[in-house]
Amino acid sequence: MDKDSRIYVAGHTGLLGSALIKKLENNGFHNIIARTHKELDLTRYDDVKSFFRKNKPEYVFLAAGTTGGIIANRTYPYRFLHINIAIQDNIFEVANEYSVKHLVFYGSSCIYPKHSSQPIKEEYLLSGKIEETSEAYAIAKMAGVIACKTYNTQFNTNRFIALVPNTMYGPSDHFDTDNSHVLSALITKLHISKENKEKKTILWGNGSPRREFIFSEDVADASIFAVEHSKELENKHYNVGVGIDISIKDLANMIASTVGYNGEISWDKSMPDGVPRKLLDSNRFMDLGWKHSVPLEAGLSLAYRWYLENNQDL
């Protein structure tokens, strides 16, 4: 990308989108295009086509969509399936028609089978049954990953790049306990427990599942790296992670230390845990020369600082 390339960041106010804006601006890119949902409804094909026709973006980072934790996935499966597929389908089709140079799409680690061997390699996709609680969202993301490959194959291009980051966290995340992912939900819950001087906090499950977390700005950095090294990419999706996982119990203790909560943490084993472990094998992408730069403890401090500055109403 040139510094004056027209770059469209879809979903620029969200967790990844805001990180992309920050990274792009810090790297000297100054012709960044963004629209709020009120300004552009990405589920409406005609609106998306009109936007591309008028603005002619050369590069697209597709960070828009609907996401959430276990409760949200179980409560709104239709919404997770329909909205994400509609956005992907519209942007892919129009981006291809207007010959954008590159589009980066983001899958999710939930596309892999529930009981995958660990760490999870890219070729494990479609090799087993996925986790039921995130089925609708996973199917939508799977469709996007496969779409990148099929567009590239049929139109003989390397236009579409599919990255599969593991669980992201950071500034601009959702922090409400009902709809957010585990890390941000724990920040909120343990912060509130601290503020209310609660002697005991009850968390879901038994704390044994292990997860890999990657800071949103590291994923943004990986995205720019992928575009800049597009000639080295195969027509396959690439896992993007840090190569280290942590148990939810240890994560909760780390977050308690970060927010300053000193009470007891207990576990409600009647509630779901989700997949036992999700650690991605990101060697294929790292072998190209990319590596994350933000360790979990430092990332937690940054995420909590943003939470304190922006979520006092929770």
Distance between the two ends of the chain, CA-based, in angstroms?
Answer: 40
Distance in angstroms (rounded) separating the CA atoms of residues 232 and 250: 38
Distance in angstroms (rounded) separating the CA atoms of residues 173 and 54: 31
Distance in angstroms (rounded) separating the CA atoms of residues 241 and 219: 8
Nearest by Cα to 107 from 209, 241, 286:
241
What is the per-residue DSSP string for 135-175? Answer: HHHHHHHHHHHHHHHHHHHHTT---EEEEEE-EEESTT---
Nearest by Cα to 182 from 305, 275, 280:
275
Is the separation of the CB atoms in 209 and 275 below 8 Å? Answer: yes
Distance in angstroms (rounded) separating the CA atoms of residues 225 and 309: 30
304 is catalytic: no
**Residue 17, SS3?**
helix
Which alpha helices (DSSP H) does 14-118 contain, by range? Answer: 15-26, 45-55, 70-75, 77-97
State the catalytic residue, choosing from 8, 106, 124, 137. Answer: 137
Is the separation of the CB atoms in 137 and 149 below 8 Å? Answer: no
Is the separation of the CB atoms in 58 and 7 below 8 Å? Answer: yes
Catalytic residues: 137
